[in-house]
Every structure is written in structure tokens, then in C-alpha cells.
Amino acid sequence: MNIAVIDYQGGNVQSVLFALERLGVQATLTSDPAVIRRADRVLFPGEGEASSAMRALRAAGLDRVLPTLTQPFLGICLGMQLLGRHSQEGPAGGTELLGMLPFDVVRFAPPDAAHKVPHMGWNNLHDLATPLFAGLGPAAGVSSRADSPHLPAAPSLAPTAAEYVYFVHSYYAPVGEYTIAQASYPAGVPFSAGVRYRNFYGVQFHVEKSGPVGEQILKNFLTADLT
């Protein structure tokens, strides 16, 4: 299988490549549009800040390439947020994003000094949908968005150990019709831990740092029918 990992100086690339190697997969780190278009699967990792990431994508012409892709595509952490329309992060007025999914990225607003930003550490997922999360989570709630025009009916997902994954983020996508997994900020604010529109998927957490659960999600991304 031909796997492309987008190279736009977005950080966190090596840990994603190592996670794929642990699964026996050799991926190509690339910013070449032709290589990206030929790939069977595309991974879009990212750490850092939205406005500088968008400058790098525009400089490489990837802001025009990525929205045209038709193969399964997975954005990770900042890579997920960049799929949205606009982020509050960046200079005054925020940052215009790729516009591939219909959400706006907002900053957590802690209610008191006891609640910290960034939201950092292990948190559990719930309300899982789509084959990206096959093998994880209780079946309850899986089909709650099956009638969305963007989301096919999800299979029943057999429960396993608690689905804890690793987050590091100060900004988030609110829950909407594009949401395929949820988590909650400690102050009780729900947010999209996973999103999808057509062939474009995203996860807010770091799959490559999320132990067996992250490994299962990566396996699903590589092998499941996600179109």
C-alpha cells in the first residue's frame, strides 16, 4: 500500500512515521502533489500554530491540492483543525483554514483557575461512529448520526478497554453533524475528537502517542473501507 505523509514543516512527523513502521508500513514523507495524488491513503499530521501552518501550506501550493483529493485522508491534531473553515488562533481576527469541513475552531475558555489550557493528557472517547473506530467503544450511540447525509451507517463496535487517547490542544472544533467521536474538556465542554466529511477524516488526539487504541485506529485507517 502506498501511504503519503504530508510534509509541510508541521511538526510531529517522525512520531507518525515510527507508528506506521511499528505496523510494518513504510510511508513516504512528501510535499509533492503528484506523489500525494497517487497515494492510497494520506496522513496529515501537525503540531504548532494555525497561521504559520497555513502559510507553509500555501507556499507549497498544498492549500489547493489537499481539498481535491479523493482517497481516504486523515488529519491529526492541528492537521484536523486545519481542515475547518476558520480558527480563532493567529493574528487579530484569527486564521482562514482549508475549508474542507464545515466547522470553525475556537479556544477553550476555562471557567476558573483550576481548569487549564491547553487540554493536555489522556482523555476518553465516546459516541464513536464510522469504521475508523471499528473494534473500539460500546455500540451505544454509534448510529446516532447514521441519517446524516455525510455519514454512512456505522457498524456495531464491540466494547474493549476504556478508549483513552492522548490530547494536547488549546483550540477545538465544536460538536456538529461532522462529528464522529467526542471527548470533553474537564470543565464539561464537549468537543469533536473525530470528524468526517466524505473521504476526509480528522482526529484531535495524537493517534501515534495513544497506545493500543491509537494503533487500532491507525490500522483501521489503513485497512477499512473509508470512502
DSSP symbols for the chain: --EEEE-SS-S-HHHHHHHHHHTT---EEE--HHHHHH-SEEEE---S-HHHHHHHHHHTTHHHHGGG--S-EEEETHHHHTTSSEES-SSTT-EE---SSS-EEEE---SSTTS-SSEEEEEE-BS--SGGGTT-S-STTTTTTTTSTT-PPPPP----S--EEEEEESEEPPP-TTEEEEEE-TTS-EEEEEEEETTEEEESS-GGGSHHHHHHHHHHHHHS---
- pLDDT tens string, the chain, 227 residues long: the values are 899 999 998 777 999 999 999 999 999 999 999 999 999 999 999 888 999 999 999 999 999 999 999 999 999 999 999 999 999 999 988 999 999 999 999 999 888 878 889 999 999 999 999 999 999 976 333 333 333 334 433 333 433 445 899 999 999 999 999 999 999 987 788 999 999 999 999 999 999 999 999 999 999 999 999 98
Exactly one of 119, 177, 206, 215 is catalytic; which is it? 206
Q: What pLDDT is recorded for position 138?
A: 60
Asked about 208 being catalytic, the answer comes back as yes
Domains along the sequence of the chain with CATH: 3-223 (3.40.50.880)
Asked about 96 being catalytic, the answer comes back as no
Asked about 115 being catalytic, the answer comes back as no
